[in-house]
């Protein structure tokens, strides 16, 4: 059937040996072919190889309608759109048909009448698979007419037909998705009475339109997406509808830093002019992902709402932009991103985490800094000894020289826009800091990154005091920091 899409009439289509098949059979047959040829079926989807994707493949092989259930930012819609590539590249359609009628098996009055009139001379066009995808975001105002259809009085008047004639019907999205993939995002947002309208098409494969005796034997692959939080928040999927969706597949967030990094690197929009001038150490790329993990574990964040992968993507882009802004203000040609640049990442967090009551009391900015601090502490303890677990008198304190330097009244001010040379000077002045980092055998290009990490890590472990003041991170002796905080409280009490 070479160049079959050059066929333009029903008679020529019959002579070609073309055999029609349903959309679910198309998906199944093409998936089998891809599996046997070991082709990549879902390119760009990471972390689901052993969990979600096998479930989807089994559902397609079973010819099931699918419900993708998961928190926000778990690639549900992207996966649904990728199923489009399992359809045949082209299918024949009766020319002018509103319902994508198969010339061999027409369902609409228009196509049936046209074939009866012209027979083998019925014109045939070819529909590309990219045109066979219909997506609808479920909202409370979606009506049955939107999905199924209703009488169109304007059409009735123009054609001079009575309302009893089925030709006056304006078909909704589902009938017009005949022989297509139809995706409904955020299914629980559909009102219960609207969900009821889906029963017939899911179970019996047909759809009734009110006031008419016709039954449309639709051929549609349904893919629904939903957030489990919606079951108790904005709405719910009614039980009879869930019962008719054959496969419910649960998605999840990345389970490792490596998977998160692959997703972020793929999705982040980093222009060449940024990436060529700004170096982001591998450690900071890991830190961006660890922030998302820390947010999902934070007591201030609503775990039912989830923390989208969009958080790390925005954070990564902001990290580049913060370093770029600093570089331009200091008239430098190149720079390396720093931990202190993460102050510019805060806006990527504050709008993407839904907080519980305690988090709202703390405030979005404070919660964001707390989450970043928790991520820094975890990564610090992966590379350096835990200051809280050092046994007194049994081993040498690796942080002794650093603590003594700060105890002598010294402090470090890391301004957010500090030029490179002054940034290095601030870190180099801390006695014992470089020696500690070099003893951990880090790469020479990463030394200053880890010197800065030690300061943040010791402050998170309450060995040093850290405070964000206006436009700088200030590190000093922990006891001195506590005394300064008490003095500030006393002054506030005095004037109140």
Q: How far is 170 from 209, CA to CA, in rounded Å?
A: 10
Cα Rg of the chain (Å, integer): 31
Q: How far is 246 from 397, CA to CA, in rounded Å?
A: 61
Q: Which pLDDT value is given to residue 165?
A: 63
Instruction: Determine the Cα angle at 128 with ends 126 and 130, to 5°.
Output: 155
Domain ranges of the chain: 4-250, 262-383, 396-496
Under DSSP, the state recorded for 213 is -
Q: Which pLDDT value is given to residue 43?
A: 94
Q: How far is 203 from 1, CA to CA, in rounded Å?
A: 34
Domain 4-250 architecture: 3-Layer(aba) Sandwich (3.40)
* Total Cβ atoms within 10 A of residue 43: 9
Three-state secondary-structure class, residue 84: helix
Structure tokens at 275: 């990436």
Q: How far is 221 from 25, CA to CA, in rounded Å?
A: 10
**Helix extents (H) in 62-152:** 76-82, 109-118, 144-147
* Total Cβ atoms within 10 A of residue 37: 7
Q: Can you state the angle between helices 282-297 and 447-460, rounded to 10 degrees?
A: 20
Question: pLDDT tens per residue, the chain (496 residues)?
Answer: 447 778 999 999 999 988 999 999 999 999 999 999 999 999 999 999 999 999 999 999 999 999 999 998 999 999 999 999 999 999 999 999 999 999 999 998 899 999 999 999 999 999 999 999 999 999 888 988 889 877 666 665 666 666 566 666 778 899 999 999 999 999 999 998 889 889 888 888 777 776 666 678 899 999 999 988 654 445 688 999 999 999 999 999 999 999 999 999 999 999 999 999 999 999 999 999 999 999 999 999 988 888 988 999 999 999 999 999 999 999 999 999 999 999 999 999 988 888 888 888 888 889 999 999 999 999 999 999 999 887 665 568 899 999 999 999 999 999 999 999 999 999 999 999 999 999 988 888 899 999 999 999 999 999 999 998 878 899 999 886 555 554 444 434 443 4
Instruction: Look up the CATH number of domain 262-383.
Output: 1.10.8.80
Q: How far is 132 from 178, CA to CA, in rounded Å?
A: 9
Phi then psi dihedrals of residue 352, to 5 deg: -120, 5
- With the CA atoms of 399, 405, 407 and 409 taken in that order, what torsion angle do they form, in degrees rounded to the nearest 10? -150
Tally of residues, the chain: 496
Which residues contact residue 200 at a Cβ distance below 8 angstroms, ignoring those fewer than 6 apart? 206, 207, 208
Domain 396-496 architecture: Orthogonal Bundle (1.10)
């Amino acid at each position: 059937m070479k160049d079959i899409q050059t066929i333009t009439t029903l008679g020529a289509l019959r002579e070609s040996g073309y055999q029609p098949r349903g959309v679910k059979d198309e998906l199944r047959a093409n998936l089998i072919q891809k599996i046997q040829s070991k082709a990549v079926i879902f390119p760009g989807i990471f972390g689901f190889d052993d969990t979600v994707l096998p479930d989807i493949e089994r559902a397609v092989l079973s010819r099931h309608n699918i419900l993708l259930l998961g928190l926000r930012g778990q690639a549900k819609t992207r996966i649904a759109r990728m199923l489009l590539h399992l359809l045949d590249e082209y299918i024949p359609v009766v020319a002018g048909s509103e319902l994508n009628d198969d010339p061999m098996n027409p369902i609409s009055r228009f196509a049936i009448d046209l074939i009866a009139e012209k027979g083998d001379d019925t014109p045939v066009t070819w529909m590309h698979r990219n045109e066979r995808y219909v997506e609808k975001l479920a909202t409370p105002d979606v009506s049955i007419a939107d999905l199924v259809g209703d009488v169109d009085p304007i059409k009735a008047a123009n054609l001079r037909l009575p309302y009893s004639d089925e030709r006056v019907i304006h078909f909704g999205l589902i009938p017009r998705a005949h022989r297509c993939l139809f995706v409904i995002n955020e299914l629980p947002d559909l009102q219960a009475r609207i969900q009821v309208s889906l029963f017939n098409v899911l179970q019996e494969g047909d759809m009734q339109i009110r006031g008419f005796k016709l039954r449309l034997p639709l051929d549609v692959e349904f893919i629904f997406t939903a957030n489990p939080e919606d079951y108790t928040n904005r709405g719910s999927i009614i039980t009879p509808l869930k019962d008719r969706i054959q496969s419910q597949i649960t998605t999840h967030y990345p389970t490792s830093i490596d998977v998160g990094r692959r997703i972020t690197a793929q999705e982040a929009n980093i222009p060449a002019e940024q990436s060529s001038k700004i170096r982001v150490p591998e450690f900071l790329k890991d830190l961006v992902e660890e922030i998302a993990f820390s947010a999902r574990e934070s007591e201030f964040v609503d775990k039912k709402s989830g923390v989208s992968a969009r958080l790390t993507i925005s954070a990564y882009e902001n990290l580049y932009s913060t370093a770029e802004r600093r570089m331009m203000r200091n008239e430098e040609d190149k720079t390396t991103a720093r931990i202190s640049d993460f102050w510019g990442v805060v806006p990527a967090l504050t709008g993407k985490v839904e907080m519980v009551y305690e988090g709202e009391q703390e405030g979005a900015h404070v919660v964001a800094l707390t989450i970043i601090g928790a991520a820094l502490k975890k990564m610090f303890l992966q590379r350096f000894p835990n200051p809280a677990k050092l046994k007194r008198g049994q081993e040498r304190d690796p942080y002794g020289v650093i603590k003594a330097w700060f105890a002598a009244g010294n402090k470090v001010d890391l301004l957010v826009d500090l030029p490179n040379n002054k940034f290095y000077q601030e870190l180099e002045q801390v006695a014992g800091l470089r020696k500690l980092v070099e003893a951990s055998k880090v790469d020479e290009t990463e030394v200053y990154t880890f010197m800065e990490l030690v300061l943040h890590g010791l402050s998170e472990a309450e060995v040093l005091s850290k405070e964000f003041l206006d436009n700088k991170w200030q590190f000093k002796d922990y006891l001195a920091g506590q005394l300064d905080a008490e003095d500030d409280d006393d002054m506030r009490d005095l004037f109140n």
